[in-house]
Amino acid sequence: MSKPARKVLIVKTGYSEFLDRGISTTVSLGDVLICTSLLYLYKHDHVTWATSHQARELLEGNALIHELLIFGSEALEKLQQGSFDLLINLEKDIGISTALSRVKAKKRFGFYFSDKTHSIETRKRSTRYLLAGQENHRDIEKNALEILFEAVGKKWDGQGLILGHQKRSRIKYDFGFNHSVGSKWPTKAWSMDYWKELERMLEGKYSVTWQKGHTHLGTYMNWINSCRVIVTSDSLGQAIGSALGKKVITLYGPTNHQRMQNVPNVEVVPSTLKCPHMPCYLPFCKFDKFCMDYISPEKVASLCLQAIK
């Protein structure tokens, strides 16, 4: 006899990132999408997910989310009128955590505001380093999904990301170059000379397309879906590509490549520079050598050819 479905509430807006101590007004869409892996644990339950307006399109159409809410006063009022068997708060925001303390739940995981320490804490000791600043993440050897599953008392078993996006485009290209990076970490960018060199190594035998539609999420997802292989920096394109089942080759320098190590469909390519400051998470490099310059086009081309087979 099957167990009755539980009522599960997941709160992930994207205003805070796993590897960032602060809260930002810029939503980390990649972090939101990464958290969808948890849905595999609750596929037989009734899941309500509260998110930001910016991240809504990433979650719409997801068959494992039964109710999608935009976090705010109206949604919070609705949540406080109900009750849940399980509440998972993945936002280390004081306002959100305090508000969620007034939502009835039999069991809670994730972040909460402690009246004793007057700060944000985690309910699982194994995930306490999620609260640390980026400078304390250099020695982490677990990927983001392992950390997430530990946060709810489970062990990650290779589950991937889930995207509800309806695929509207057919595969047209062998390789997609997701070359653009956001304003937060411009140091994630690979040299344009290297991108052009990679294109020269692949052109003739394979078709290549350059990043399109990144200012419009739906168009951007359709572009990624039109490619067999995505070559990218540590960015949203990496998460979308993985969720869409693409082969993703991700170039890592200033951020920790362990975060996506062994995540389904993702091949991480860390810089070969032996810099004691890596991963530094600096927006601008202040050292003598720049880590992203130590990822060679030849190495990436070799991985591309292996991925396309």
Check residue 183 and give its pLDDT: 81
pLDDT tens-place string over residues 133-191:
544 556 677 888 998 899 999 999 999 999 987 767 788 999 999 999 988 889 999 99
In angstroms, the CA 203 to CA 215 distance is: 27
Tokens of 31: 């972090």
Over the stretch 41-52, which tens digit does the pLDDT of each residue have?
999 999 999 999
Q: Residue range 240-253: average pLDDT? A: 96
Residue-level pLDDT at 130 = 64
Question: How high is the pLDDT of residue 55?
Answer: 95
pLDDT tens column, 61-93: 999 999 999 999 999 999 999 999 999 999 988
* Structure-model confidence comparison of residues 166 and 213, the more confident one: 213
Query: Given this model, what pLDDT does residue 252 score?
Result: 96
Choice between 249 and 256, residue whose per-residue pLDDT is larger: 249
The two beta strands, 67-70 and 7-11, are unpaired
Predicted confidence (pLDDT) at residue 285 exceeds the cutoff of 70: yes
Question: What is the structure's pLDDT at 134?
Answer: 47
Average pLDDT, the chain: 90
Least confident of 16-25, 27-36, 38-47, 72-81: 16-25
pLDDT at position 126 is 63
Question: At residue 204, does pLDDT exceed 80?
Answer: yes
